[in-house]
Amino acid sequence: MPRISELTDEQRGHLAWRLDHKTYVGYLTACRIARGEFGDDDIISVFQCAGKSRRSAQIHARKVLNFSLLDYRERSQPHQGDSFRGR
Q: What is the pLDDT of residues 24-68, one digit of tens each?
A: 999 999 999 999 999 999 999 999 999 999 999 999 999 999 998
Give 51's Cβ-side CA count (13 Å radius): 9
Q: How far apart are CA 77 and CA 23, in angstroms?
A: 29
Do 20 and 26 form a contact (C-beta atoms < 8 A)? yes
* Amino acid in position 42: D
φ, ψ (nearest 5 deg) of residue 17: -65, -45
Instruction: Write down the pTM of the prediction.
Output: 0.80
CA 74, 13, 60, 42 dihedral sign is: positive
